[in-house]
Amino acid sequence: MIHNFDFYSPTEVLFDKETQKEAGKYVKKYNGHNILIVYGSDRIVKNGLLEEITSSLKNENITYHLLNGIVPNPQLGKVYEGIDLGKREKIDFLL
């Protein structure tokens, strides 16, 4: 069975020092309100990157959820975990 749908995927790639501290501003620019932050290892927790990102989101009053353990070509279980989390929390933006 074929399901009709529209897919629109604008992309903005930013390369600059300290851009992570402006994550909230960029999420807001694209009307993100409830986001899912996906990441691999806890290295971004240890080096403070995740805190900088989440602080920026909090400053913009953006709700976020975390999904760690993401690897290239993830196992289906992890993919379905993300899908379930997205549906349950009504995620509208991925970071």
Question: In this structure, which CATH number among 3.40.50.300, 1.10.8.420, 3.20.20.410, 3.40.50.1970 belongs to the domain 20-94?
Answer: 3.40.50.1970
Where are the domains positioned within the chain?
20-94
Whole-number pLDDT of residue 33: 96
CA 54 – CA 37 distance, rounded (Å): 9
The number of beta carbons lying within 10 Å of the beta carbon of residue 25 is: 14
CA 73 – CA 9 distance, rounded (Å): 21
Confidence check: pLDDT of 26 > 90: yes
Q: Report pLDDT digits (tens) over 32-83.
A: 999 999 999 999 999 999 999 999 999 999 999 999 999 998 899 999 999 9
Confidence check: pLDDT of 6 > 80: yes
Confidence of residue 3 (pLDDT cuts 50, 70, 90): confident
Within its chain, how far is the Cα of 28 from the centroid?
Answer: 13
